[in-house]
Chain A
Amino acid sequence: MQLDPEFLSRLQFAWVVGWHILLPAFTVGLASYIAFLEGAYALTKRQVFLNLSQFWLRIFAISFGMGVVTGIVMPFQFGTNWSRFSDAAGNVISPLLAYEGLTAFFLEATFLGVLLFGRKLVPPPIHFLAAVLVAVGTLSSTFWILATNSWMQTPVGYEVIDGRYFPKDWFEIIFSPSFPYRLAHTVSAFYVTTAFVVLGVGAYTVRRGQSLAEGRMMLRLALWFLMIFVPLQILLGDAHGLNTLEYQPAKLAAIEGLWDGGKGVPASIIGWPDQSAERNLDEIEIPKLGSLYLTHSWDGAVKGLKDFPPDQRPPVAIVYFAFRIMVGVGLLMLGMVALGLFLLARRELDRTQWYLRLCEFTICLGFIAVIAGWTTTEVGRQPWTIYGLMRTADSVSPSLTGDNVLLSLLLYVAVYLVIFPVGVSVMLRIVRSGPAASDEGPPIQSGHPKSPIAALAGTTPEGAR
């Protein structure tokens, strides 16, 4: 059997980005959380905030380090496996990727060093500023990488010359039609993911009865935050879906499992999409409901998959199920938050063992939703790398053989299967030792910490602010 370099390259990309996205999904939120804790400590001087910040910083360091090294892999994938895409679209997407590096990566990497190792080397306001800059860096990175991805989903502001894409309007390119929705939905997803981790770790800490103050603080902060962000995330998701209906109708039809378009379409609750038979098997559907929530009218017209030629349809079953997993997880989250708030209102939260235990299990919910949502949008874009313009089949590097890619894929699989379990176990060990055990080993100290900082605080504008 001949191995297909395109299919294997797609698998490889899915593998490396799938693992990588779990890290920003966690660190983007965590960086903001740590900046908040540092700020709260600076204002109130309450020990609980400092303990929490130091505790989460140790976990952040590990997940961020893993995020850096698995992130470096990503831009190289464009070259190693998708060189024809790079040649065709390089003029449009490369500045966005470069701005990600320039505005985000250096900021994060440099000030994370100060944040981790510099608490005693720099004055407190600078240390807090470092925390804020790391958080800003993670958000800036999210901005640029999603601008790139959104342009590939809903390309505008370009012109085609000899089959290659050239920029015409940079504002349009960056703020492509799906970008505001994707950015809001993704950042909110990352924050919710982090908050569920904090909720779970807080529950574990309270349940064990050690570091009660820290545990209770984590539980409450997470619940209050989620009370706003989970419903908000569901609204943002709905808005993003309507945007997809407008700009990527084939993807939306796959999400809905809708083969026959028309007026007053049904909503498919669950079924088994059969791509070759062009229908769903064993389906449960509710008549007219699809039109209602997609067009906000009982008889609104929606395009079906059959309105597109078979070679322009995404793999329906993957998109269909990934979407349902995401929505299902969202509803579970809503239930968890409602339960938690109910218990909080009755002052039973810290004593309700079964709920605390449940919170430990729901740590994974955000990650599942992120992967499912990402699968929905990326597989839903198929068979295109640039939606409607450049096919994935035309994007792959011509020099690659199936054997080449199989070998690299297997190596990526092997390495990620080592470092991710070890990384998780190392983080779990920190969680088990708890926030009270904040390690006091003074961080890396160099020679003479005093003089330069005093000098610096007065002279650099960053320091002055």
Chain B
Amino acid sequence: MQPLDLVPIWTAILALGVFFYVALDGFDLGVGMLYNFAPDRNARNLVMNSVAPIWDGNETWLILGSVGLLAAFPVAFAIIIPAVYFPILLMLLSLIFRGVSFEFRYRDAVHRTSWDHGFAIGSALAAFAQGLILGAFIQGFNVQGRQFVGSSFDCFTPFSVFTGIALMFGYAFLGAGWLVIKTEGALQDWARALGRRCLIATVLAIGIVSLWTPYMNAQIAARWFSWPNIAYLAPVPLITLGLVWYAWRSFNDRSEYGPFFAALGLFVMSYIGVAISMWPMIVPGHFTIREAAASPSTQAFLLIGTLFLLPVILVYTAWSYWVFRGKVRADIGYH
């Protein structure tokens, strides 16, 4: 009997896990960046409180993403992670500063302002580092056999720096959408105003990356622009444009949930776009998902638990969002 092929299932689970990370920590990193521009102390408290109960759950998806990559595609983990040695370092140190700021900001009255900056700058640099990793991934790595053999600085290119900046705006856009949901009155107007600017920057960035990528890589260009692919894939840019229009409208027409879900939709479309460009490679140019897949026994053993645990996690995560739903109030401290 042919054993059941688990590679597509694991690809889907990993893709879902990474997307959950991008969407969830994306908005709270975005909130962290916008925090810097909040008009006053009261506004800053509200902005921080809007993510305080959920940020570490969101960040947990990053662990799942990294360990999931190791579990599903070990050789891809062994090649990609050392190739982006310094962006990973930057991301980790930034996440440390940002994470402890939640606690230190309130407890450590003397250094209050420096932890305020730590929160905002940490969020921004973490977002930048993640965008840089994405750019480096799209560009590909110098691989021999099963190892990355380039230099630790190869990943810094104009393209990857650009994708780093692009992701900062994307996350800030998501964060603004979240703040529209969680705040009201003048602060919500402030979030809408910033959100509109981030939307414009994000759309420009998506456009530039969408042109730059096929320009860099003939194979990707062929995939998108050859006939009949161009017809099949046309919905991707078209839906994206529709979402941009919807996002702009909902920032302006007092819609509370519209901006956030429009932003989420744009992330979904960009994510699908990258996936179409890369498919079926997990290490561009060297390993397909099938070649990089873990042993069947590894996949099966982990799948049994994952199929049970992941839905449970999603249920209680959704429940915790439900508990903390609604507007954050102005008159309260951290905890």
Which chain A residues have a beta carbon within 8 Å of chain B's beta carbons?
58, 61-62, 64-66, 68-73, 75-76, 78-81, 83-84, 86-87, 90-92, 94-95, 97-103, 105-107, 109-114, 116-118, 121-122, 166-168, 170, 397-401, 404, 408, 411-412, 415, 419, 422-423, 425-426, 429-430, 439, 441-448, 452-453, 456, 460, 462
Contacts of B62 in A (CB 8 A): 72
Smallest CB separation, A30 vs chain B (Å): 15
Smallest CB separation, A302 vs chain B (Å): 38
Closest 4 A/B residue pairs (Cβ):
A447-B326, A79-B81, A90-B74, A94-B71
The contact of B305 among A70, A102, A399, A400, by CB within 8 Å, is A102
Contacts of B54 in A (CB 8 A): 113
List, sorted by A's number, 12 A–B pairs whose CB atoms are closer than 8 Å. Answer: A78-B70, A79-B77, A90-B294, A94-B70, A106-B317, A109-B59, A122-B323, A415-B97, A423-B104, A429-B108, A444-B49, A446-B325
Knowing A91-B294, A114-B323, A444-B335 are in contact, say whether A98-B71 is a contact too (CB < 8 A): yes
- A73→B53 contact, CB < 8 A: no
The contact of B70 among A86, A400, A404, A412, by CB within 8 Å, is A86
A84 to B84, CA, bound (A): 15
Smallest CB separation, B130 vs chain A (Å): 13
- In this assembly, does B272 line the interface, its C-beta being within 8 Å of a C-beta of chain A? no
Contacts of B151 in A (CB 8 A): 399, 401
B96's closest neighbor in chain A, by CB? A69
Contacts of B56 in A (CB 8 A): 64-65, 68, 109, 112-113
Smallest CB separation, A293 vs chain B (Å): 40
> Which of B86-94, B238-246, B274-282 faces chain A?
B86-94
A119 to B124, CA, bound (A): 32
A61 to B107, CA, bound (A): 11
Contacts of B329 in A (CB 8 A): 444-446
- In this assembly, does B233 line the interface, its C-beta being within 8 Å of a C-beta of chain A? no
- B107→A399 contact, CB < 8 A: no
Interface centre among B70, B86, B297, B328 (most CB of A within 10 A): B70
A430 to B107, CA, bound (A): 8
Knowing A113-B53, A113-B320, A399-B147 are in contact, say whether A408-B297 is a contact too (CB < 8 A): no
The contact of B74 among A87, A102, A460, by CB within 8 Å, is A87
- A443→B298 contact, CB < 8 A: no
B81's closest neighbor in chain A, by CB? A79
- A404→B152 contact, CB < 8 A: yes
Smallest CB separation, B43 vs chain A (Å): 15
- A98→B67 contact, CB < 8 A: yes
- A113→B324 contact, CB < 8 A: yes
- A75→B148 contact, CB < 8 A: no
The contact of B309 among A95, A102, A109, A116, by CB within 8 Å, is A102
The contact of A422 among B64, B98, B104, B310, by CB within 8 Å, is B104
Contacts of B70 in A (CB 8 A): 75, 78-79, 86, 90, 94, 97-98
- Using A81-B82, A167-B301, A398-B149 as known contacts, list a sample of 10 further A-B pairs with CB atoms less than 8 Å apart, ordered by residue number in A: A73-B96, A78-B70, A83-B148, A87-B75, A90-B70, A90-B74, A90-B75, A105-B63, A112-B56, A399-B85
Mark contacts of B94-131 with chain A using CB atoms, 8 A cut-off: 1 yes-contact digit, 0 otherwise: 01111110111001100100000000000000000000
- In this assembly, does B302 line the interface, its C-beta being within 8 Å of a C-beta of chain A? yes
- A106→B57 contact, CB < 8 A: yes
- A70→B53 contact, CB < 8 A: no
- A429→B335 contact, CB < 8 A: no
A446 to B326, CA, bound (A): 5
- B107→A62 contact, CB < 8 A: yes
Interface centre among A61, A122, A444, A462 (most CB of B within 10 A): A444
- B66→A75 contact, CB < 8 A: yes
Smallest CB separation, B15 vs chain A (Å): 15
A87 to B320, CA, bound (A): 37
- B88→A80 contact, CB < 8 A: yes
- B60→A399 contact, CB < 8 A: no
A69's closest neighbor in chain B, by CB? B99
A103 to B74, CA, bound (A): 21
The contact of A65 among B60, B102, B295, B333, by CB within 8 Å, is B102
Contacts of B301 in A (CB 8 A): 95, 167, 170
